[in-house]
Amino acid sequence: MTQAQHNKQIGARFGAAARRYDDHARIQRITAERLADDISRLRLPSRPRILEIGCGTGLLTQALARRLGPADWTITDISPAMLAASQRGPALPGTARYQVLDGEYPEVLAGPYDLICSSLAVQWFTDLNAGLGRLAGLLAPEGHLAVATLADGTFGEWQAAHQAAGLVAATPRYPSHAAIRPAMSNLAGGVHNERLIQNHPDGLHFLKGLKGIGATTPAPGRSPLSAAELRRVLAAFDEQGAMVTYHLAYGMWKKSTQRPAGVFVTGTDTGIGKTLVSAILARAWNADYWKPVQTGVSEEPGDTDTVAQLAQLPPHRLHLPAYVLQAPLSPWAAATLEDTVVDATTIVPPTTRAPLIVEGAGGLYVPIDDTHMMIDLIARLDMPVVLAARSGLGTINHTLLSLEALKRRGIPVLGVVMSGPLSAGNKEAIERFGNVRVLAEIPPLSKVDAAAVDALAQGIPPLEECLAALSDAPAQAD
Supply φ then ψ for residue 288, to 5 degrees.
-80, 165
d(Cα 63, Cα 55) in Å, to the nearest integer? 11
Would you list which residues are annotated within the binding site for substrate? 295
Cα 305–Cα 310–Cα 312 angle in degrees, nearest 5: 85
Closest C-alpha among 388, 374, 375 to residue 430: 388
d(Cα 140, Cα 154) in Å, to the nearest integer? 33
Closest C-alpha among 292, 281, 289 to residue 305: 289
d(Cα 279, Cα 308) in Å, to the nearest integer? 8
Catalytic residue numbers read: 291
Distances (CA, A) of 404 to 228, 268, 384, 385, 430: 57, 12, 14, 13, 12
d(Cα 363, Cα 272) in Å, to the nearest integer? 9
d(Cα 158, Cα 243) in Å, to the nearest integer? 8
d(Cα 116, Cα 126) in Å, to the nearest integer? 19
Would you list which residues are annotated within the binding site for Mg(2+)? 275, 359
Q: Do the beta carbons of residue 373 and residue 364 sit within 8 Å? A: yes
**Can you give 246-280 as a three-state secondary structure string?**
EEEEEEEEEECCCCCCEEEEEECCCCCCHHHHHHH
Would you list which residues are annotated within the binding site for ATP? 271-276, 359-362, 443-445
d(Cα 311, Cα 327) in Å, to the nearest integer? 26
Helices 80-87 & 3-16, crossing angle to 10 degrees? 40
d(Cα 276, Cα 448) in Å, to the nearest integer? 9
Classify strands 356-363 and 293-294 as parallel, antiparallel or unpaired: unpaired
Cα 416–Cα 403–Cα 176 angle in degrees, nearest 5: 135
**What is the number of alpha carbons within 13 Å of residue 226 lying toward its C-beta?**
4
Q: How far apart are the first and last CA of the chain?
A: 44
Classify strands 139-150 and 243-255 as parallel, antiparallel or unpaired: antiparallel
d(Cα 231, Cα 239) in Å, to the nearest integer? 12
What does the CA dihedral 466, 472, 477, 478 come to, rounded to 10 degrees?
Answer: 20
Would you list which residues are annotated within the binding site? 271-276, 295, 359-362, 443-445
d(Cα 193, Cα 370) in Å, to the nearest integer? 8
